Amino acid sequence: MSTDARGDGPIIVFDGVCVLCNGWVRFLLRHDRDARYRFAAMQAPAGRALLVAHGLDPDDPSSFL
């Protein structure tokens, strides 16, 4: 997880193609009543940028941030 420059809270980067990952995000969205988390697919520009900024390969879906 990482926090963006605006300080709006942690962003969870996930594999947007993975059915299991998408189910996990849906579960978190249902249970995050305080809206603490935001999500970015690793295939989206924001997700790719976060992965690169943390030294992770944006084309390797085995890594989570």
Tens digit of each residue's pLDDT (9 = 90 or more) over 1-53: 444 444 578 999 999 998 999 999 999 999 999 999 999 999 999 999 999 99
Write down the pTM of the prediction: 0.75
Rounded CA separation 13/17 (Å): 12
Sorted by sequence, the CB contacts under 8 Å of residue 49 that are 6+ apart come out as none
What is the dihedral angle through the alpha carbons of 51, 56, 61, 65, rounded to the nearest 10 degrees? -50
